[in-house]
Amino acid sequence: MVFCVNYTFQNCLKDFNLEFCNMLCLQAHTYQDLPMFFLLLGVLTFFLLFFEILIRKFSISGFVLRKVLHFSLGVILFFIPVCFTTNFYPVLLGLIFLVVNGAGIHFGLFRIFHGKSRNTVQGKKEPTSYGPVVLPIAFVILALFFWESHAWIMRTAILVAGIGDSLAALVGGSLGKVHIESLTKGRKTVEGSLTMFATSFLLLVACFFVFKDVFNEGLAAASWFQLVALALLLALIATAVEALVSYGLDNFFIPLAVSYVLYIINMDDNGLLLRLLVGGVFALLLALFSLKVKFLNNSGATATFLLGTTIFGVGGLQWTIPLLTFYFLSSVLSKLGRKRKAKFDLVFEKGSQRDAGQVYANGGIAWLVMIVYSLTNDPAYFFAYLGTLAAVQSDTWATEIGTMWPNPKARLITTMKPVPVGTSGGVSFPGTLGAFAGALVICASAILMQVEWVIDFGIMNSFLLIGLSGLFASLVDSFFGATIQAQYYDPVREKVTERTQSYRSDGSVVKNKLIKGYHYVNNDVVNTLCALSGCALAFFFSQSI
């Protein structure tokens, strides 16, 4: 007994001494980094104030100077791990400029954040860019997660975001002639996107060459051909993100997207690199095919490429087939009975050609579930994934079948009073049956793929779980559609619609009046809530049964 007590006490003392030594070492490193912290703080502050003086005194374009500053930050942040021994002061720097830049944008302290750009039309102010705020956030996140063992991933991602995005904006703003339609609210050009792609590719290849000696199993065994192919795929991903995202938010999503892909590949030794390359090619072909047959517009095809690359590449066929089942069946169904559904075109907010918002609403939650699974390998997330797809398929099938059915009758889900077919929140018997059938088809696709987790859970249990999750989620969609979704009165055609504006016969625009719900709750928001509810139900009950 005495021996055990003494042994435990000695171990505790040893652990205490070790922790104390580690603390002293950390403090020593922190003091060692202090001069570099003040040096960088001074340099960055000087650049910010100097560029502000150039704008105020010499009327130099704030847009150009902002991109030059962004370019410089990308280079500086790339070398930061060389200058510091710990991530304490780099994170502190990021937080300081997050506050400074945020205050500058909110209170209008710095004109560099509001300078005119290529987006300024007829003297109108350029929309606020949140890039100066979100870039420090992205850097802080990456520094916290990757500093110790994967600093090269952080450095590569920041370099691509800093240099590639700034050059794309400068080239697109000065030389861009070919505008890409139906992509995003910002003006994106072919010339700018090509610059983003070429710059990102060259930077990635250079980083792979410099950092090859610190690769883990997933990349260490890769040939140079595979690394070049990976650089092409990542450059395409970065370009797609830059093209889709407006208001400077690409400064957040580009480094996170690049670092995520590099991390999961670098930590895997089971052929993920090859699967991701094949998945990226397949996703690109699917996006181009969808554009050709007009399932998607430019933004929808771009979003589908990003979503498909992750799910096809990381998940393999077991995750791909349910997604393709939803995508193709729902897309084909939306094209059928077009003449019968034509009378509802002025009621629904969007048509059958999906955009990025609809892709995010229908597949965004499934996308996030796939990402979480890739980091945890928890099979419970596969049921959440099926529940998400069942939910959006149920909602789509309920709408399509309900509007195509001969002489359909619908009732508002909250009051059960008769309403015109196509009304937000309206439910019908054919639509409800279609919703349940759609969810069962999603489950059947996973069973046909002989997914081990589904087979172990039980075929009948899986059908009930996914079928009821999808059906209930579609009713949740109808409930939100009847209560909080924005509905407007169209004075031109004298009817209720989901559209915010209408057009007179002479082409003039008429703003529709909000009569129910909230402006910011459109059909995409309601569809996202539907997907989230199906995901939560399937995940929760798969753990409980």
SS3 string, 354-406, reads: ECHHHHHHHHHHHHHHHHHHHHHCCCHHHHHHHHHHHHHHHHHHHHHHHHHCC
C-alpha to C-alpha distances, 391 to 431, 463, 479, 490, nearest whole angstrom? 14, 13, 14, 30
Residues in CB range of 440: below 8 A, 6 or more apart: 463, 466, 467, 470
Distance CA 513, CA 502 (A): 10
> What per-residue string of b and e applies to 84-118 under the rule 16 or more CB within 10 Å gives b?
beebbbbbebbeebbebbbebbeeeebbbbbbebb
DSSP 16: H
| 111: Cα separation from own chain's centroid | 30
Distance CA 310, CA 271 (A): 15
How buried is 172 (Cβ within 10 angstroms: 0-12 exposed, 13-18 middle, 19+ buried)? buried
> What do you get for the CA distance between the two ends of the chain, in Å?
46
The single-letter code of the amino acid at 101 is N
Distance CA 466, CA 521 (A): 27
The single-letter code of the amino acid at 10 is Q
From first to last of its 545 residues, what are the pLDDT tens digits of the chain?
433 434 344 554 444 444 445 444 445 556 788 999 999 999 999 999 998 899 888 878 888 888 899 999 999 999 999 999 999 999 999 999 999 999 988 888 888 876 544 444 334 455 677 888 999 999 999 999 999 889 999 999 999 999 999 999 899 888 877 888 777 766 788 899 999 999 999 999 999 999 999 998 789 888 999 999 999 999 999 999 999 988 889 999 999 999 999 999 998 877 899 999 999 999 999 999 998 888 888 999 999 999 999 999 998 899 999 999 998 998 888 777 565 555 555 455 455 577 888 899 889 999 999 999 998 888 889 999 999 999 999 998 988 887 777 777 888 898 888 887 777 788 888 889 999 999 999 999 999 998 889 999 999 999 999 999 999 999 999 999 889 988 888 887 777 777 777 777 776 778 888 888 888 888 889 999 999 999 999 999 988 76
The single-letter code of the amino acid at 138 is A
Distance CA 453, CA 539 (A): 13
Number of H helices, E strands in the chain: 20, 8
Distance CA 74, CA 160 (A): 8
Instruction: Bin 247: left if φ > 0, else alpha if -120 < ψ < 50, else beta.
Output: left
Strand order in 495-497's β-sheet? Answer: 495-497, 487-490, 513-516
Domain ranges of the chain: 33-110+129-268, 290-297+317-485+521-545
